[in-house]
A = this chain, B = another copy of it.
């Protein structure tokens, strides 16, 4: 968007003047617009009822680093994405606006973005793959396989750029030639952790780096928690690959639930400390158990919408009339007997048996001694 320099500088000033996200500053911007809001904070003079914006900006109002921030961003090829920009992921962030009520919640005011893709488009086709920093080799290989396969199927993969699961996810997508997004808890011009400098630079070149923190900001514990809400918001669903007893991934999962995003968790050996968090999430019904890429995609698109760009594949298109009736007579969950199917389909038992046999070969239904169910697509 072609934007006057002073307006852009006003946004950059606002993005730094309070620790983001800051609902008080956001409210002032909504009231006055960015340029007037920046002036009001600088001049310490706000409309009645907006005094909180002054409290929140007390420490930083005097130091205007907007120009330097924009320069620092430009040096690394980053841009400041604003709510009226085309690539602003407004739809995804709407859930945050609804869910976030605390002073450190809610929508970001603006986002620093680095990379060759449109943030809104990437976010609309993204699955977050997150997990323990101290991951096991099992966890890293599960994360890599999932992320590579999601990428091959047209999804982009969002994570936090950390060691362990995050790194394995980013790396696998880059290897697959796909798009991956790292949401940072530091400035867009920093690479944290340092040992991931090369990885994150590559993500910036071929995927996206995203941060709500101004350039130069260092990673800090509270910023990881705050950042996690953006990982959840900028994805259609999140998958926890490994998580210990106390885990940042569980926090991201809590955010995802709050935002109404599906949450999946991969199981692992019950003897592994890095799977405890995942098992707890599943046992407490805070996450669905997923165990391969198909189950993840089914979770993201429970209506069978399939992978991005591929559209829906209707395996049932080739079914005969009788097979269709049998298929429709099997509920989405649970097992049913041949007799129950026959009753629901209004067909004789031999016809049902014959239809089930062909459909089992076609991989549409599964049977065991206890009954029949639809096969997971």
Interface residues of A (CB under 8 A from B): 138, 141-142, 225, 228, 246-248, 250-251, 253-255, 257-258, 266-271, 275-276, 279, 282-286, 288-292, 295, 333-335, 368-371, 373, 376
B138 touches A368 (CB 8 A): no
B266 touches A291 (CB 8 A): no
B251 touches A370 (CB 8 A): yes
A269 touches B269 (CB 8 A): yes
Would A138 and B254 be within 8 Å (CB), given that A279-B291, A289-B282 are in contact?
no
B255 touches A266 (CB 8 A): no
Say how far A98's CB is from chain B's closest CB, in angstroms.
16
Would A283 and B291 be within 8 Å (CB), given that A266-B270, A270-B267, A369-B248 are in contact?
yes
Residue of B nearest to A287 (CB): B289
| B-chain residues with CB within 8 Å of residue A258 when the two chains form the complex | 370
B269 touches A279 (CB 8 A): no
The contact sample of 19 A-B pairs, CB cut-off 8 A, is: A138-B269, A250-B368, A250-B369, A250-B370, A251-B370, A254-B368, A255-B370, A257-B334, A258-B370, A267-B267, A267-B269, A267-B270, A268-B269, A270-B292, A279-B289, A283-B291, A283-B295, A284-B334, A289-B289
Most B-side CB within 10 Å, residue of A225, A266, A279 = A279
A283 touches B279 (CB 8 A): no
Kindly report how many copies of this chain are found in the complex they form together. Answer: 2
Would A251 and B369 be within 8 Å (CB), given that A270-B292, A292-B270 are in contact?
yes
**Chain A to chain B: the 5 pairs with minimum beta-carbon distance, closest first:** A254-B370, A267-B267, A251-B369, A279-B291, A270-B291
CA distance A228 to B368 in the complex (A): 13
CA distance A142 to B272 in the complex (A): 12
Residue of B nearest to A247 (CB): B368
| B-chain residues with CB within 8 Å of residue A279 when the two chains form the complex | 267, 289, 291
Would A271 and B142 be within 8 Å (CB), given that A291-B279, A333-B284, A334-B286 are in contact?
yes
B253 touches A370 (CB 8 A): yes
Residue of B nearest to A295 (CB): B283
| B-chain residues with CB within 8 Å of residue A253 when the two chains form the complex | 370
A254 touches B335 (CB 8 A): yes
Per a CB cutoff under 8 Å, which of B141, B228, B282 touches A369? B228
| B-chain residues with CB within 8 Å of residue A286 when the two chains form the complex | 334-335
Say how far A183's CB is from chain B's closest CB, in angstroms.
16
Residue of B nearest to A277 (CB): B368
Say how far A330's CB is from chain B's closest CB, in angstroms.
13
| B-chain residues with CB within 8 Å of residue A228 when the two chains form the complex | 369
| B-chain residues with CB within 8 Å of residue A271 when the two chains form the complex | 138, 141-142
CA distance A85 to B270 in the complex (A): 42
| B-chain residues with CB within 8 Å of residue A268 when the two chains form the complex | 267-270
CA distance A168 to B276 in the complex (A): 24
Would A285 and B369 be within 8 Å (CB), given that A279-B291, A291-B270 are in contact?
no
CA distance A335 to B286 in the complex (A): 9
CA distance A169 to B266 in the complex (A): 26
CA distance A285 to B333 in the complex (A): 8
Would A283 and B292 be within 8 Å (CB), given that A270-B266, A369-B248 are in contact?
no
CA distance A270 to B269 in the complex (A): 9
